[in-house]
Amino acid sequence: MSKPQLINTVAKMQAQSDTWRGEGLRIGLVPTMGFLHEGHLSLVDYSLSAADRTIVSIFVNPLQFGPKEDFAIYPRDIERDIKLLAQRGVDAVFKPQTVEFYPPDFSTTVEVTHLADGLCGAMRPGHFRGVTTVVSKLFTATKPHLAIFGQKDYQQAAVIRRLVRDLNLDLHIEVAPTMREADGLAMSSRNVNLTEDERRRVPALYQALAMAKRYIECGERDTQRIIGEMRSQIEKELGGDIEYISIVHPDTLEDLSEIAGPVVIALAVRLANVRLIDNISAEPSRK
């Protein structure tokens, strides 16, 4: 176990990546907002196995939080994060300074339309613009060959894939499976902000997704019927404010009324202090 380099400036990060590239080494990037959990670490492990050098970026990006969102209470623990990454054998932690990343006259945005308009994009105006802008900067700062994102943020991954294609970014995006607690809850740094009672009840989200997946595998084609069942189950077991439950095309993210092939079932629920999202892929079994 050797401590990863801690890099705070874009110039130093670019110089390190240039050195690695000059040596013919492949660079993997795992972009995070810190407060790492096993979900992040599974992305790190993927990078460690697929690339020669692994950079983990830690940056709670103010641009992707709305004015009424949880930027202030987003959990942070950089020392614990670095210890976890050292145990894993990560090569560098890139922790940009907000004052360098966003100087006062910062005025550039990178935006993906359409794909970013529905689902979370509809509930969080400007969120994906903040994500695509910061991810563009993280890519130019770290110059990776490979960047790994989690399937839990399904729409984010789709938006970033489109960004990479549209801007001809010369890197590969990998999407790794959602990691879950024993009771099915998708791992998220935000889970720490759940009350005890909420924590006990939130597995209802995964149960509703799993139920929908079974319906689809058993031949149910009517998305509204499935969504209706999910809604009543979540309302009964969890409560909270259901922002959306959608069954969408895996590539276009367009809402489907009928199931005829692979789909993604996605949802977002707002509790007192925490907004949770989750999703699952499903496909009708072939007869």
Residue with tokens 């020669």: 52
Residues facing 146 on adjacent strands: 28, 172
Closest distance between a second copy and the C-beta of residue 225, in Å? Answer: 30
Query: Which residues have CB under 8 Å from 175's CB, separation 6+?
Result: 148, 149, 150, 151, 157
| Residue nearer to a second copy on the CB measure, 67 or 103 | 103
Closest distance between a second copy and the C-beta of residue 155, in Å? Answer: 13
Closest distance between a second copy and the C-beta of residue 120, in Å? Answer: 16
Give the sign of the dihedral formed by CA 35, CA 11, CA 4, CA 52: positive
Encoded tokens for 113? 């339309």
| Residue nearer to a second copy on the CB measure, 141 or 274 | 141
| Residue nearer to a second copy on the CB measure, 140 or 224 | 140
- Element housing 173 (H / E): strand 172-176
Q: Could you tell me which of 179, 193, 163, 168 has the C-alpha nearest to residue 76?
A: 193
As annotated, the active-site residues are 40
Closest distance between a second copy and the C-beta of residue 106, in Å? Answer: 5
| Residue nearer to a second copy on the CB measure, 114 or 214 | 114
Rg (C-alpha) for the chain, rounded Å, is: 19
Query: Which residues have CB under 8 Å from 141's CB, separation 6+?
Result: 10, 13, 14, 57, 94, 96
* Binding footprint of a second copy on the chain (CB under 8 A): 10, 14, 105-115, 132, 136-137, 140-141, 143, 162-163, 166-170
| Residue nearer to a second copy on the CB measure, 15 or 73 | 15
Residues facing 241 on adjacent strands: 270
Distance CA 109, CA 116 (A): 14
Report yes or no: 4 and 24 within 8 Å, Cβ to Cβ.
no
